[in-house]
Amino acid sequence: MKKTALSIFYFIFCQLYSQIDPDPRRFEYGTDGDEVYINQFINWDNKNTFSNNAILFVGSSSIRKWSTSKYFNYRTIINRGFGGSHISDIIYYFDSIITKYQPKIIVLYAGDNDIAANKSPEQVLGDYIEFTHLVSTKVPKAKIVFIPIKPSPARWSLWNDMKETNKLIKMYIDDNVSQFYIDTSTQMLNSDGKPIVNLFVSDSLHLSEKGYELWSQNLGPILDSIINEKRLNIFD
């Protein structure tokens, strides 16, 4: 009941106050430098096959730059992160980057670029809820693991909104046994409540190897618990 009420409230709120989503087709085709585009994912999929029950990583460049197969090499890993993406972009390309794989677990990092584009925490929550509804409809057996928005030095001025977004999404996740929230964001702050600098590369936005080690160490036990069909109480 609580989850349903939250969904209705934020749907109405977002319809009234939301920012316009950027055109998702900006990610459809491209070959530029370090970026990855949807057409490249499709080309790779035409040359490779993936078993169902994989662990699928999806989200923005923080996912794309993560050497996920290095840290989680005990299962089939699919990385479908694309830089600059919002949750709305992931929703738009849902069938191309999620449904076709029928994964056992979906690891999502998103919301960072959304807040940077002046979306409100409530709108990001609304997009997250829409994303979870698509999962329950199109990949009904999948579990969702949400990695909260990171407190990067480059976007420190936005941290209050990012922290509020994390709080709202965690509240929603707490009411759903098929979703998991990993509190990595607070571990990325020092005793003064500021970002730990060596967790980030020189642009002060993207994660360093130490940053990815922190994420991986926190994510590993959750993946193991889902694979073994045993839910951990990760908030104790």
pLDDT in tens, 99-134: 999 999 999 999 999 999 999 999 999 999 999 999
Is the model's pTM score more than 0.85? yes
Q: Which residues contact 83 (CB under 8 A, 6 or more apart)?
A: 34, 35, 36, 60, 61, 64
Query: In the prediction, which pLDDT does 84 show?
Result: 86
CA–CA separation, 157 and 89 (whole Å) = 24
Q: What percent of the chain has pLDDT over 90?
A: 69
29, pLDDT greater than 70: no
Domains and CATH numbers, the chain: 2-26+53-227 (3.40.50.1110)
Q: What percent of the chain has pLDDT over 70?
A: 83
Question: Can you tell me the mean pLDDT for 81-94?
Answer: 93
Tokens at 182, concatenated: 């990993």
